A = this chain, B = another copy of it.
């Protein structure tokens, strides 16, 4: 166990705590910061001055408190000046955004991504987007790094995409390729889309204040971003959360991972589309929504498909609830649409398979950040270093 921190480490910690607070909660008065951080007024004043001098926060615009006495100055994150690039490689599209400190999307570019292309083939278009975004950056603004959300298994250390079974990806050095293409000495941090969405919803979405969260992200495949005790659970190499490859149906359908009966073979978009008798040209969210709509209009085959997939969705959720005893389970990607259409089946299966103590307080939720979650979360990855040591991160 390490010994306690030095005075200088405490100062850096406090700078990070203050900056993180305004990054997450937005404009905050000095008086609120004093209460929240448990530091005295003069310390808050000194920390704010240091952060303002580094261009990370601005002060002013005293808010009316409604109480007597001098109104307290308000500290705001420098969202226009300090930003990260957030990139997202999804099954059907590529996106790049410039995200300001405070989690605000300032500018964005989107393109379709043809299925069947490699992860490496995303590097060119995404780099082009970043160059475009860069041209609109105001003078004096500072980029603190780039974060990437990708629908594959990512090695934590270097952003190598080890496997994207539904995409045909094997060992693609995405982190290194993007770092080279984007240039500069700021790092490129790559994360699995489920982990990144969990981070986003935990920081500023449907799981704020929850310490035990499972964020399920579905498209062709299914993964989970897991937060336990307030911290991300990503495993030894960063590959944890592959709940889509939890086998729930021994001897079931073959999975692209090489196994059989994996959860994603029962709840991924193909399962729903096939069960509805609609395996055709339309794929992706559009096809999922078409089945859900048809079920809603009374199409009995679509209704049976929604029931079947909803039942398997609840089945796997019950397993995860027994394993993690979470407060909140969030259904993202196409699983959002499936959950909304089949909530009663999901809950019923959870009630029959989940242990009462494990499930009694669990809330089933849809994402609050919607489709922005991968970008907001990817930006959070990039902001983490800044928030850990604000002055060091902008000094380089």
Binding site for B on A (CB under 8 A): 1-5, 9-11, 13-14, 16-17, 20-21, 37-39, 153, 155, 162-163, 211-212, 224, 226, 228-229, 231-243, 245-250, 257-259, 315, 318-320, 322-327, 352-353, 355-358, 360-362
**13 A-B residue contacts at CB 8 Å?**
A1-B20, A4-B9, A153-B355, A211-B236, A212-B235, A224-B323, A228-B233, A234-B325, A236-B362, A242-B323, A242-B325, A246-B323, A257-B355
Cβ–Cβ < 8 Å partners of A9 in chain B: 4
Q: A246-B322, A322-B245, A353-B259 are in contact. Are A358 and B239 (CB under 8 A)?
A: yes
Q: Across the interface, which residues of B come within 8 angstroms of A10, CB to CB?
A: 4-5, 10
Q: List the B residue with the shortest CB-CB distance to A312.
A: B250
Closest to A10 in B: B4
Beta-carbon contact of B352 and A238 below 8 Å = no
State A353–B9 Cα separation when bound (angstroms).
Answer: 45
Q: How far is the CA of A247 from the CA of B314 in the complex (A)?
A: 12
* Distance to closest chain B CB from A355 (angstroms): 6
A5 to B246, CA, bound (A): 42
Does B4 lie within 8 Å of A324, measured CB to CB?
Answer: no
> Which of A212, A235, A243, A247 neighbours the largest number of chain B CB atoms within 10 Å of its CB?
A235
Q: Is the CB of A325 within 8 A of B237?
A: yes
B243, A322: Cβ atoms closer than 8 Å: yes
- Nearest residue in B to A235 (C-beta to C-beta)? B325
| Interface pair B355/A239, CB less than 8 Å apart | yes
- Which residue of the partner chain, among B3, B226, B318, B360, contacts A39 with CB atoms under 8 Å? B3
**CB within 8 A of A327: which of B236, B245, B326?**
B236
Residues of B within 8 A of A247 (CB): 248, 315, 318-319, 353
Cβ of A239: which chain B residues have Cβ within 8 Å of it? 325, 355, 357-358
**Copies per complex of this chain:** 2
Q: Is the CB of B242 within 8 A of A326?
A: no
A231 surroundings in chain B (CB, below 8 A): 228-229, 231
Residues of the B chain whose Cβ atoms lie less than 8 Å from the Cβ of A241: 323
Name the distance in Å between A13's Cβ and chain B's nearest Cβ: 4
Please measure, in the bound complex, the distance between the C-alpha atom of A202 and the C-alpha atom of B13, giving whole angstroms: 29
Residue ID in chain B nearest A7 by CB atoms: B7
Tell whether, in the assembled complex, residue A323 and residue B243 are in contact, meaning their CB atoms are under 8 Å apart.
yes
With contacts A246-B319, A247-B318, A315-B250 taken as known, whether A324 is within 8 angstroms of B5 at the C-beta atoms is: no
Q: Could you say which residues of chain B place their CB within 8 Å of the CB of A240?
A: 212, 228, 323-325, 358
Are B250 and A248 in contact, CB atoms less than 8 angstroms apart? Answer: yes
Q: Across the interface, do A326 and B17 meet the contact criterion of CB distance under 8 Å?
A: no
- From A234, A249, A324, name the one whose CB has the most chain B CB atoms within 10 angstroms: A324
Q: How far is the CB of A218 from chain B (nearest CB, A)?
A: 16
Which B residues touch A3, using CB under 8 A?
13-14, 17, 37-39
- Bound Cα distance from A228 to B237, whole angstroms: 12
Residue of B nearest to A318 (CB): B247
CA distance A243 to B358 in the complex (A): 11
Output the least CB separation between A233 and chain B (Å): 4
Across the A-B interface, the 6 shortest Cβ-Cβ residue pairs: A235-B325, A4-B10, A4-B13, A240-B325, A3-B37, A162-B357
Contact residues in B for A212 (Cβ distance below 8 Å): 235-236, 240
